[in-house]
Amino acid sequence: MILPVWNESQKRSALILFGIASAGAGISIAIGEIGARFSKIWQCLSSFALKNSIPTALLTTLSMIIQCSILIGFISGAVMFMVWWERKVSAHMQNRLGPMFTGGWHGWAQTIADAIKLLLKEDIIPAEAKPWVHRLAPIVAFVPAFLCYAALPFGEGLISADLDIGILYIFAISGLSVLGIVMAGWGSGNKYSLLGGLRSAAQSVSYEIPRVLSVVPILMMVGSLKLTSIANVQTGFWRLAGIPLLPRWFIFYPIVGQIAFLIFLISSVAETNRTPFDIAEAESELVAGFHTEYSGMKFSFFFLAEYAYVFLSSGLTTVLFLGGGSGPVLPSWSWFLLKSFAVVFLFLWFRWTFPRLRVDRLMEFTWKFLLPWSFINILITGFILLF
Amino acid sequence: MDLVFYLIALLLLFSSVMVVTQKSVFTSALYLAVALSMVAALFVLLNADFLAAVQILLYVGGILVLLAFAVMLSSVEQAKRETQVNEQWLPSLIISFGILLVLLVSLKRSLFLEAGVQKNHFYPTTEKIGHLLLGELALPFEVVSLVLLASLVGAILFSKKEKIDG
C-alpha cells in the first residue's frame, strides 16, 4: 500500500482535526448522560420549590421556557455549523476554495459574519405584494420546524415531549411548512415566486406520501408510534452463533430495512427542497423561486427552516434506522449527534453531486417508483410478521 | 383550561367566518388553514391525540395544500373584481339553519349525560383506535376503503386523456 504524501499544512490540519475529535470524545465522556443530570437538577429544584412553597405551575412554566430556549439555541448553533460545513463540503467536492479568511482557521467565522450581514440588511416588501401574507410566510415556514424538535429524542431522557404519537406528530407538523412556502409564492406578487410556490406544493404533497409509508414497516415491527420505544428496540446486536455481528439497527434488517431506508432518505431530501429536488427554487429557471422577493431577516428565516429540517430529517433517520443513541463508550447524546451529522453529510453529498431533476420526471419518480415500492415493502413486512 | 378552550373556540369561529366572507380566494384558504388547525387543537383538549395529528396531517398538510395549489392560480386582480357570494343565499340560509337546529337538539340530548368524561387523565388512543378499526369496526372500515379506491379509480379515469383512434 502506498501512503499518500502529505505536505506540511495538510499534516497540521490532520493533527488539528484529530485533536478536536479526541477532545470532543473526552469532553462528552466527562459530561456523561445529560438526560440524567437534567432530571437530577429538576429533582433538586422541585424539592426546593416544595420547601419554599413556590407554586409548581411557575416551576413547570419556567422549565418549559428553558427547554424551548435550549432547543432554539441548539437549532441556531447546528444551523450555523451546517451552513459552514456545507460550503466546505461543496468546496472539496467541486474543487472550489470555500471560506478561508474570516476568523483565521479555514474561515470558521464565515457563517457568523453572514448572519450579522443578514440581520443588518434592508427589509424590502415589493409594491405588488400582499403585505401581511408576505410578512407572515417566513414565520409559518419556520415555526413548524421548531415545533417538531419537541418530539425528537436527542438521547436517553433528552426529549421535551415524549408523545405517544411521536412520529405521526412530527410528520403532521412538518407538513405545515409548505403552507409558508405557498404563502411566500402567492404573497410576493411575482411570477417566479408563484411558480416556485406551485411546484413546492405539488412536490411536497407527493413526496409526503412515500415518506410516511416507508416508515410503516418499522411501526409494524415495533408496534408503537413512540420515538423513544422505536429507538430502544434497536439496542443490542444481531448475533451469528453467539458472535455479535451487526448492531440491531433497523437499517440492517434484511431487505425491508434497506428499502425503507432508501425511500425515507430520498423523500426526506425531497421534502427539504434540496438540490436534486429543488425545483421550487431552481435558480436557472426561477431566479430564486418562492424566496425571490425576500431579503434580510425574512430570507434568513427560510434559510433557517431549510437547515432545521435537514437536521430534523437526519435525527429522524437516526432514531428510526440507526438505533438512536445506542452505542458503546460515549454517552447516548453524542452517539445521536454523531450519527445524525453523518446523515447530514449524506444530504450535503447529494446536493453537490446530483443534477437537478426536471419537474415531470420528479413527479413520475415519486408516483411511479417510490410509492409502489413502499407498498411492496409494507406487504413484505406483513409476510415476515406472519411467518 | 376553560380559558384555553374559549380562546380556541373564538379563533375557530372568527376564522370560519373569515373563510366565507373574504374576497380573495387565497386569503379564504389561509383562514381555512387556521380553522382546521383550531379543530385539531380542540381534539388535543379532548385528549384525542391521534385524531389531532391526523387532522393536521391530512387536512392542513394535505388537502389544504392541494386547495392552495388550485387557488394560487387565481390572480390578485381577479380577487378585486369578483365576490365569493352568489345569488343562492336564501336556500343556503334555510339549510344551514336546519343543520343548526338538528345540532342543537342532539347536543341538548347528549351533552350533560356524559359529564363523566375524564378531563385530566390522559390515555394514549392510538392502540385502541387500531384495535377498533381492525376488530369491531372492520366491516365499515373496509367499506370506506373500497369507496376511496373507487373514487381513486374514477379520478384516474376522468383525468386520462382519451386516445385518438389508431
- The pLDDT value given to residue B1: 63
Whether B14 has its CB under 8 Å from any CB of chain A: the answer is no
Please determine, for residue A302, whether its predicted confidence score (pLDDT) is greater than 80.
yes
Tell me which residue has cell 425528537: A152
Is B4 among the domain residues?
yes
Q: What is the mean pLDDT of residues A233-254?
A: 76
- The pLDDT value given to residue B146: 93
Please determine, for residue B130, whether its predicted confidence score (pLDDT) is greater than 80.
yes
Domain residue limits at B43: 1-81
Does B56 contact A172 at a Cβ distance shorter than 8 Å? yes
Whether B64 has its CB under 8 Å from any CB of chain A: the answer is yes
Whether B66 has its CB under 8 Å from any CB of chain A: the answer is yes
pLDDT tens profile A268-281: 888 887 777 777 67
Q: How many angstroms separate the CA atoms of A62 and A376, rounded? A: 48
Whether A182 has its CB under 8 Å from any CB of chain B: the answer is yes
Does A172 contact B33 at a Cβ distance shorter than 8 Å? no
Q: How many angstroms separate the CA atoms of A122 and A148, rounded? A: 30
- A3 sits in the region (left: phi over 0; alpha: psi -120 to 50; else beta) called beta
Chosen domain end from B81, B102, B133: B81
| Half-sphere exposure at residue A370, Cβ-oriented, CA atoms within 13 angstroms | 27
Q: Are residues B6 and B65 in the same domain?
A: yes
Q: Are residues B7 and B70 in the same domain?
A: yes
Kindly identify which residue of chain B lies nearest to residue A129, measuring between CA atoms: B76
Q: Are residues B137 and B65 in the same domain?
A: no
Does A172 contact B26 at a Cβ distance shorter than 8 Å? no
Q: Which residues of A touch B49 (CB under 8 A)?
A: 163-165
Q: What are phi and psi of A135, to 5 degrees?
A: -75, -35
C-alpha cell at A249: 439497527
Please determine, for residue B166, whether its predicted confidence score (pLDDT) is greater than 60.
no
Tell me, what's the ipTM? 0.77
Is B102 among the domain residues?
no
- The pLDDT value given to residue B102: 92
C-alpha cell at A106: 479555514
Does B76 contact A130 at a Cβ distance shorter than 8 Å? yes
Is B38 among the domain residues?
yes
Is B107 among the domain residues?
no
Q: Are residues B75 and B129 in the same domain?
A: no
Residue B114 pLDDT class (50, 70, 90 cuts): low
Is B77 among the domain residues?
yes
Residue B59 belongs to a domain with what CATH number? Answer: 1.20.120.1200
- Higher-pLDDT residue of A20 and A324 is A20
Q: Which residues of A touch B126 (CB under 8 A)?
A: 164-165, 168, 225
- Mean pLDDT, chain B, rounded, equals 81
Is B143 among the domain residues?
yes
Chosen domain end from B18, B53, B81: B81
Kindly tell me the sign of the dihedral angle through the C-alpha atoms of A110, A111, A116, A122.
Answer: positive
Query: Shortest CA distance to A182 belongs to which of B69, B141, B161?
Result: B69
Is B25 among the domain residues?
yes
Query: Hey, what amino acid is at B60?
Result: V
Distance of CA B139 to the CA centre of its chain: 24
- Higher-pLDDT residue of A242 and A195 is A195
Query: Shortest CA distance to A181 belongs to which of A170, A203, A196?
Result: A196
pLDDT tens profile A125-170: 787 777 888 888 888 888 998 888 888 888 777 777 778 888 888 9
Does B30 contact A133 at a Cβ distance shorter than 8 Å? yes
Residue B150 pLDDT class (50, 70, 90 cuts): very high
Does B66 contact A197 at a Cβ distance shorter than 8 Å? no
Q: Is the pTM value of this prediction over 0.95? A: no
* Rounded (5°) CA angle B83-B87-B93: 105
Does B69 contact A198 at a Cβ distance shorter than 8 Å? yes
C-alpha cell at B53: 395529528
Give the DSSP H or E segment for B3: helix B2-21
How close is the nearest chain A Cα to the Cα of B97, in Å? Answer: 33
Chosen domain end from B49, B81, B113: B81
Of B62, B72, B126, the CB nearest to A225: B126
Q: Are residues B76 and B137 in the same domain?
A: no
Q: How many angstroms separate the CA atoms of A369 and A377, rounded? A: 12
Residue B14 pLDDT class (50, 70, 90 cuts): very high
Whether B26 has its CB under 8 Å from any CB of chain A: the answer is yes
Q: What is the mean pLDDT of residues A56-61?
A: 80
Q: How many angstroms separate the CA atoms of A188 and A299, rounded? A: 13
Is B113 among the domain residues?
no
Total number of domains constituting chain B: 2
Residue A335 pLDDT class (50, 70, 90 cuts): confident
How close is the nearest chain B Cα to the Cα of A357, in Å? Answer: 21
Q: Are residues B67 and B140 in the same domain?
A: no
How close is the nearest chain A Cα to the Cα of B73, in Å? Answer: 8
Q: What is the mean pLDDT of residues A65-93?
A: 87
